[in-house]
Amino acid sequence: MKSINSRKIFLTLVFMLLESFAYSQQDSQFTQYMYNTINVNPAYAGSRRVMSVFGLHRNQWVGLDGAPITNAFSLHSPIGDANLALGLSFVNDKIGVSNENSISIAASYAIQTSENYKLAFGINGAFNQLNINYNKLKTYDTSDVLLEEENNKFSPNIGAGLYFHSDKNYIGISVPNLLETKQYDDIKKAVANDQIHFYFITGYVFDLSSSVKLKPALLSKIVKGAPLQADLSANFLFNEKFTLGAAYRFSKALSAMAGFQISNSWFLGYAYDLERTKLASYNSGSHEIFLRYELFKEYKKFKSPRFF
C-alpha cells in the first residue's frame, strides 16, 4: 500500500505541473542544473543527506560582446537527524551593462512517504540587486542625463517548491520567485520586469551493469511571454567515478558534459554548449565549469556517490 501511495504522489505532481504551466528566460541559465538543483527548487535542500557546497562559473556565447557571464555558489545541509534542512545560494549575472546579484535562503522539510521515497516541502526568501551602468553604452546623445549615472534597485522575493525522490528517481515542481517585480520606475523609462518562472524537473537512474549507470533527466522552464524551454539530458556514470553525457535544449543548444569524482568529497564537472540559434554565427559556444565539495560524517552510509 505504501508503494502505491508513493506512485500516486508522483503522478499527482506531474498533473499539477501540466495544469499549472500554461505560460512560458530571465533566470540564470545552467546546463548542469542537475548538480545544483537548489537554485531552482528550495525543497532540494538537504536531499543529499550531507553538507554540500557548490561553485560554478558559466561563460555564455563566447566572443559575443556583452554576453552573459554567471557565477553561482550554494550551500545546503540537513539539520542533525531531523527532517529539516537549510540552504543558501548566491548568483551573480553580468549581461551587457547590467549586473545582477541574487541571494536566497531556503528551508525544507521532508516526510518519509514509504520505505524508499521522501516528499520534501521547501520555501525560500530571496533578495535581488540589479545595477545598470549606462556609461558602458555606446552613446549618440551625450547630453542625455540618464547616461550620467548608475542605477541600483533592490527587491525582495519569496518562492516555494516540492521535491519527491528516492535513491533512483526524482520529480520536482517549483516557483523560486513568486512575486513579479519592476526593477525601474516609469520616470527613468527603463523597466526590467521580472516574471514568475515555473520549473519542473525529473530524472531516473538505470543500472545498466555493476559498473555503469544511466540517468536521463528533464528540466522544463516556463515564463509568461517566452517560449517553453525544455532541457533533455542523459548522463552515464562509470565505476562511480567518471560521468559523461549530452543534453539538448529545444531549438537552442546541444551540450556535452563530463565530470570526475576526484574523491568521496570532491566532484569536478564541465559542459560545453553549441548554439543552435541565429546567434551561432556570432559566438563560439558556451563553457560551464563547477566544483562540488561534500562533508561526509558517516562514510558507512554512503558507499557510493549520489547521482543527483
Specify the pLDDT at position 95.
Answer: 87
Beta bridge partners of 94: 69, 99
As a whole number, mean pLDDT of residues 239-253 equals 92
Distance of alpha carbon 281 from alpha carbon 113, whole angstroms: 50
Distance of alpha carbon 17 from alpha carbon 153, whole angstroms: 32
Specify the pLDDT at position 270.
Answer: 97
The 10s digit of each residue's pLDDT in 117-169 is 999 999 999 998 888 776 666 655 555 555 555 567 788 999 999 999 998 99
Specify the pLDDT at position 213.
Answer: 95
- Does the domain at residues 30-294 carry the CATH identifier 2.40.160.40? yes
The residue extents of the domains of the chain are: 30-294
Specify the pLDDT at position 293.
Answer: 95
The 10s digit of each residue's pLDDT in 62-106 is 888 888 999 999 999 999 877 999 999 999 999 888 889 999 999
Instruction: Tell me if 302 sits within 8 A of 295, measured CB to CB.
Output: no
pTM (2 decimals)? 0.83
Cα 148 versus chain centre, distance: 35
- Name the one residue in this structure whose C-alpha cell is 551540450: 255
The 10s digit of each residue's pLDDT in 18-67 is 444 333 345 678 899 889 899 999 999 999 989 999 999 999 988 888 88
- Name the one residue in this structure whose C-alpha cell is 548568483: 91
Nearest to 220 by CA among 76, 22, 38, 55: 22
- 175 vs 187, higher pLDDT: 175
Specify the pLDDT at position 24.
Answer: 35
What's the CA dihedral at 220, 128, 124, 158 to 10 degrees? -80
Distance of alpha carbon 232 from alpha carbon 257, whole angstroms: 12
